[in-house]
């Protein structure tokens, strides 16, 4: 595993930001850490990068305890964050030139390609760049030395759709073989790029899986009835986003199984005429789990 987080807790005063966080990021994966604001995504990333210390538990990166990361490991890790600070009075070109000697694997051809692809003005001072341009600048600095691990902490915040698209194109086209760990609640760019996903809420991992396994087991189920549909009182708790329309009962089944789920529906719902299911987009999975988590907290 490229990143392993084992039973990590993080307390800020009386607030538990992480509660037994456990996560495994496979080498070569594009791993999306998703969840609502305040779920603990950035706290997790900061512990991985040794920017803050865990109150309890361990995190390993490149097979090294994150608390013991040295220059050797950091030379293999790229990092981009929404609030990353860059020196405002130096030009884009001069800052890139300043960084080159620190990385033995720095690729000048890749650097030039990224600067051109992201349309970054090398003669402009960093302080005169827009927020989107600064994020793209940070990405160039993180990719040019071909890191083994690229960590992206809410990189899309405040970016317009075009910049988000350009950012992800640069990441995907220039990171062959690189493991990517990205935290975000902006899901459109992750739908068709993430190979693995974990959903966080209130400092805990609700689920983690490969995208293939997740889309196979999480299905939107439509049950056509012989009479106007009502939500059954004995509806299983794990069903999400349960609603009715006319003779149709619909819900998201997070553990769908053709035989088992069909039998369960027939056992709990009367007058079933037809049962169909369809895949669920990542944004709908996110919304369903987030709403269910919020409703549990309200109760």
User: Which pLDDT tens digit goes with each residue over 56-71?
Assistant: 999 999 999 999 999 9
Q: What angle do CA 170, 209, 74 make, to 5 degrees?
A: 45
| pLDDT given at position 297 | 64
79-136 pLDDT, tens digit each: 999 888 899 999 999 999 999 999 999 999 999 999 998 889 999 999 999 988 898 8
Can you read off the two tokens belonging to residue 299? 């109760």
Q: What angle do CA 212, 216, 219 make, to 5 degrees?
A: 135
209 pLDDT higher than 70: yes
Q: Decide: pTM greater than 0.75.
A: yes
243-298 pLDDT, tens digit each: 899 999 999 999 998 898 999 898 888 899 999 999 998 888 888 888 877 776 65
165-206 pLDDT, tens digit each: 888 888 877 777 899 999 987 777 787 788 999 999 889 998
4-60 pLDDT, tens digit each: 999 999 999 889 999 999 999 999 999 999 988 888 999 999 999 999 999 999 999
According to DSSP, the residues that pair with 100 across neighbouring strands are none
How would you label 172-181 residue by residue, b for 16+ Cβ within 10 Å and e otherwise?
eebbeebbbb
């Amino acid at each position: 595993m490229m990143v392993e987080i084992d039973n990590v807790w993080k307390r800020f005063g009386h607030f538990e930001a992480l509660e037994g966080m456990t996560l495994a990021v496979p080498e070569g994966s594009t791993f999306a850490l998703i969840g609502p604001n305040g779920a603990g995504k950035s706290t997790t990333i900061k512990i991985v990068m040794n920017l803050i210390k865990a109150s309890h538990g361990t995190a390993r990166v490149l097979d090294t305890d994150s608390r013991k990361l040295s220059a050797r490991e950091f030379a293999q890790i790229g990092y981009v964050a929404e609030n990353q600070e860059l020196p405002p009075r130096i030009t884009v070109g001069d800052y890139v030139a300043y960084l080159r000697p620190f990385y033995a694997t720095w690729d000048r051809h890749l650097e030039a390609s990224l600067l051109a692809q992201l349309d970054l003005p090398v003669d402009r001072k960093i302080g005169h760049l827009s927020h989107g341009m600064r994020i793209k600048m940070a990405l160039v600095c993180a990719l040019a030395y071909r890191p083994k691990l690229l960590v992206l902490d809410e990189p899309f915040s405040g970016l317009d759709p075009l910049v988000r698209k350009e950012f992800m194109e640069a990441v995907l086209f220039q990171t062959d073989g690189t493991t990517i760990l990205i935290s975000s609640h902006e899901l459109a760019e992750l739908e068709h790029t993430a190979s693995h996903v974990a959903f966080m809420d209130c400092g805990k991992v609700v689920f983690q899986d490969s995208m293939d396994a997740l889309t196979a087991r999480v299905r939107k189920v439509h049950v056509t009835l012989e009479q106007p549909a009502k939500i059954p009182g004995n509806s299983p708790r794990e069903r999400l986003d349960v609603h009715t329309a006319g003779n149709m009962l619909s819900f998201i089944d997070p553990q769908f199984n053709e035989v088992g789920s069909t039998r369960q529906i027939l056992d709990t719902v009367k007058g079933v005429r037809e049962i169909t299911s369809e895949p669920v987009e990542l944004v709908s999975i996110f919304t369903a789990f987030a709403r269910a988590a919020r409703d549990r907290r309200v109760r």
